[in-house]
Copies of this chain bind each other. A is one copy, B any other.
Amino acid sequence: MFAVLVYDVGEKRVARALKTCRKYLTWVQNSVFEGEISEVNLKKLKAELKRVMDEDEDSVIIYTWRVQRYSSRDILGVEKGNIDLFI
């Protein structure tokens, strides 16, 4: 299936959350990730994120689609996802 994930996590946990999401999805920009993912990997991703995040402070939203990716994706302004922080 196709997934779009957006996180909002405290600064201290951002690096780990980013690393976790990038294991399974493509980083689109800042806090947004997307990609094809299996049911099994989505479960793994959720479990790993729950270990990284503070569930009383942070939030993560995950949309999934079984049929199609999307009809269009428009980016206004800066495309931040292409910058690799770890290089």
Contact = CB atoms under 8 A, between A and B. Distances in A.
B61 A32 contact: yes
Contacts of A8: 29-31, 80
A76 B49 contact: yes
Interface string A43-66: 000100110011111111111111
- Sorting the interface of chain A by its residue count into under 10, 10 to 19, 20 to 34 or 35 or more gives 35 or more
Given A8-B31, A61-B75, 11 more contacts: A6-B6, A6-B32, A8-B30, A32-B61, A49-B76, A54-B77, A59-B76, A59-B80, A61-B74, A64-B71, A66-B71
A78 B59 contact: yes
A50 B77 CA distance: 8
